[in-house]
Structure 1
Amino acid sequence: MSTRRMFLEAVGLRLLAAFLMTAMSASVHAAAQAAPVGQIVFWRSALALVPICLYMMWCSEFPRALRSSRPGLHLTRGTFGAFSMWMSFLSLAYLPVANAQALAYLAPVLTLPLAAWLLGERLTLTLLAAVALGFGGVLALLWEALTLPGRGAAIGVAAGLAYALTMAFVRVHTKTMTQTESASTIAFYFAVIAALAGLLTLPFGWASLSPAQFSWLALAGLLGGLGHIASNEAMARAPVGTLAPFDFSGLIWALGFDLLIFATLPGPTGLIGVAAITVAALLVCLPPRGAAPAHPAPHGTPQSPSAPFRRRTKPAGAQSSDATSR
């Protein structure tokens, strides 16, 4: 397969992943009108295991990919990942999908100072500007939330910010895990831990849902699993850093879902905040000045489509997909 064709396939898969994950967010937003967050976390995680395990079998990775020599790392990653999912879904319960999506884009921006502190990575002026712009966008969203009646929007912004902060840690932690653990191992154990965390809320009361309401929960789980698969298949064909800008197509879908399904849109100040955070996240995706262009790995290497779930080597500064933590 030619390099150009592999790249075009990677772009298509990344765009598909962005659509699937945004559709999952819209499903969570709809489900949150009737179900508590813990119930949504359980079904999102438990049902996502179905497509993930089927795909691992198709790739001849099951059950070999489930072996791990570092269970403690999975427990830490899964715990923080489950908390970040919780905050993401709480944000979606109170905010339009586009606002919550924009706050999620803040995660790679917040990863920068954390990576500089924990991993010793260098911060450039462009990256510092991205951090400042991202926080400016948060302030705009928070200002709009505080001007609305009730505390729901403010809770949503706070939860979205907590999600981004937690995901910044999860990204750095996952980056260290990929040196020894495969993507499928990380995804599987995260889903298991998150499902167990959601199940612990059962004694506190789950909602009795109609078939239509439960369909939103089922859809969220299946879309989340399929989105993870599409994202990993894209990364198997092209470097993560090259594909990252295409993730922001999800914002178009988010605005469309808000308008067509929920008949709502962010206000003018909210749109300014959404735009500021999106631009900040795009700045993070820019390659460093003087960096060599990244190329997909040749066919047969761990980054090729023939081994989509094996450990991949990522270019310096590339960020892992967040598909498994939403």
Structure 2
Amino acid sequence: MLRSLTPVSLGVLCVLGGMASFSTADALVKALGGSLNVFEIGLFSTLFSFLPALFSKPREERWRDTFKLNRPALMILVAFCRVLSAVLITYAFVTIPLAEAYCLVFLIPVLATILSVVVLKEEVPLDRWALVVISFLGVLLVVRPGFREIELGHIAALICALAAAVSLTTIRLISGAERRVTLFALPGLLTLAANLVGVFVVGFTWPSPLLLGGLVLCGVLGGIGYLLQLKGVALAPASRVAPMQYSQIIWALLFGALFFNEVPDAVSLAGLGIIVAAGLANIFADGARTRIAGRWAEYRARRDNPSPDDFKGPGPDPV
């Protein structure tokens, strides 16, 4: 059956599978949070996430090249932001509802848009700024500061989104200069080290066989999600696979209701709907602008370099 699918359809399915894998791992993190501390969960899940992710290393790159940095200051910034976001999102998943954590994490593209203007000096069209504002309004409906208690988990998720946006923006600056193995392995190793330090400070409780199995599964699912996401992006254009990230909202609502008794009220559901709608509109608007720019370039090329066929009159009437 899979052989009959087009590469684009297969890419979309890969990303959908990756998002399901990530969401299941996140739900496991939340479940484990009742028995283990945040750093212990992060330590084991990061360690075991390396198992499937090892297969993503390009053959022409070597593991010993991980620390050969071409732009060390920026690469260290990326690694620091990745460590910070990994620790904070683990804390957020454990302490607040999954759907609310995802709502704040989905501010990453919004914050990345703002940073692209400030740091990369990119021009952002007016309609995209409007969607940024709408996304913020959706977040306000879900979190409702001033109308309900804001927990540390909300603040952690917000800082996580900011750190991830800084990381993404920095990667755009250095992606052509750094090796893929560096971009993957260095942040992972530093995240492992940070959680190890946290375990020494907070304390370590050896997990039971059941909890250890959950930690292994959590890490492996995270690694599988990473591989599926890479494969999907390689098979299909970003405009087709990017909307699939919002399927995580569905998984968050499902897991939250089934396992954690987390049922958002009508206002929160409306806010989540606004965030998803604004995100999808942003993606599809980018795709439409790309298509229009391509057709305009094709028209100008034909106008500036007309072919002989453009000057031919109508052919003879059929007899």
| TM-score for the superposition, normalised by structure 1 | 0.80
1:286 to 274, 284, 297: 284
Does 2:209 match 1:203? no
2:226 to 225, 228, 237: 228
- CA contact under 8 A between 1:91 and 1:156: conserved in structure 2? yes
Report deviation, 1:125.
2.0
Does 2:180 match 1:156? no
Describe the SS at the equivalent of 1:181.
Answer: coil
Q: Which has the higher helix share?
A: 2
Tell me, in whole angstroms, the C-alpha distance in 2 between the residues paired with 1:232 and 1:64. 22
Report deviation, 1:65.
6.6
Tell me, in whole angstroms, the C-alpha distance in 2 between the residues paired with 1:233 and 1:246. 14
Q: Judging changes above 3 Å, is the alpha-carbon distance between structure 1 residues 105 and 122 closer, same or farther for their aligned structure 2 residues? A: same
- CA contact under 8 A between 1:75 and 1:193: conserved in structure 2? no
- CA contact under 8 A between 1:77 and 1:170: conserved in structure 2? yes
Query: Which stretches of structure 1, 4 residues or more, deviate above 6 A after TM superposition?
Result: none
RMSD: 2.7
In the TM superposition, 1:16-55 aligns within 5 A as 16-55=17-56
Tell me, in whole angstroms, the C-alpha distance in 2 between the residues paired with 1:214 and 1:251. 27
Q: Which amino acid aligns with 1:134?
A: S
Tell me, in whole angstroms, the C-alpha distance in 1 between the residues paired with 2:51 and 2:136. 37
Tell me, in whole angstroms, the C-alpha distance in 2 between the residues paired with 1:179 and 1:224. 26
Q: Hey, what does 2:301 align to over in structure 1?
A: none
- CA contact under 8 A between 1:44 and 1:221: conserved in structure 2? yes
Q: Hey, what does 1:189 align to over in structure 2?
A: 186
Moved more, 65-74 or 99-108: 65-74
Tell me, in whole angstroms, the C-alpha distance in 2 between the residues paired with 1:249 and 1:189. 29
Report deviation, 1:91.
1.3
- CA contact under 8 A between 1:34 and 1:207: conserved in structure 2? no
- CA contact under 8 A between 2:77 and 2:167: conserved in structure 1? no
- CA contact under 8 A between 2:62 and 2:181: conserved in structure 1? no
Identity %: 25
Q: Hey, what does 2:111 align to over in structure 1?
A: 110
- CA contact under 8 A between 2:8 and 2:237: conserved in structure 1? no
Does 2:256 match 1:258? yes
In structure 2, the gaps of 5 or more residues are 295-319
Q: Judging changes above 3 Å, is the alpha-carbon distance between structure 1 residues 210 and 234 closer, same or farther for their aligned structure 2 residues? A: same
Tell me, in whole angstroms, the C-alpha distance in 1 between the residues paired with 2:52 and 2:196. 20
Describe the SS at the equivalent of 1:209.
Answer: coil
Does 2:176 match 1:175? no
- CA contact under 8 A between 1:31 and 1:214: conserved in structure 2? no
| TM-score for the superposition, normalised by structure 2 | 0.82
Tell me, in whole angstroms, the C-alpha distance in 2 between the residues paired with 1:173 and 1:146. 36
Report deviation, 1:281.
2.1
Report deviation, 1:226.
0.9
Report deviation, 1:18.
0.8
- 1:128-183 deviation per Cα after TM superposition (whole angstroms, max 9, x unaligned): 12211121122222227953xxx6x6222221111111111111011112112244
Describe the SS at the equivalent of 1:119.
Answer: coil
- CA contact under 8 A between 2:21 and 2:221: conserved in structure 1? yes
Report deviation, 1:29.
1.0
Question: Alignment length, in residue pairs?
Answer: 290
Structure whose CA Rg is larger: 2
- CA contact under 8 A between 1:245 and 1:282: conserved in structure 2? yes
Tell me, in whole angstroms, the C-alpha distance in 2 between the residues paired with 1:33 and 1:144. 26
Describe the SS at the equivalent of 1:34.
Answer: coil
Q: Judging changes above 3 Å, is the alpha-carbon distance between structure 1 residues 69 and 293 closer, same or farther for their aligned structure 2 residues? A: farther
Tell me, in whole angstroms, the C-alpha distance in 1 between the residues paired with 2:4 and 2:184. 28
Q: Judging changes above 3 Å, is the alpha-carbon distance between structure 1 residues 182 and 19 closer, same or farther for their aligned structure 2 residues? A: farther
Q: Judging changes above 3 Å, is the alpha-carbon distance between structure 1 residues 290 and 142 closer, same or farther for their aligned structure 2 residues? A: closer
Describe the SS at the equivalent of 1:236.
Answer: helix
Tell me, in whole angstroms, the C-alpha distance in 1 between the residues paired with 2:53 and 2:171. 18
- CA contact under 8 A between 1:30 and 1:216: conserved in structure 2? no
Tell me, in whole angstroms, the C-alpha distance in 2 between the residues paired with 1:56 and 1:267. 44
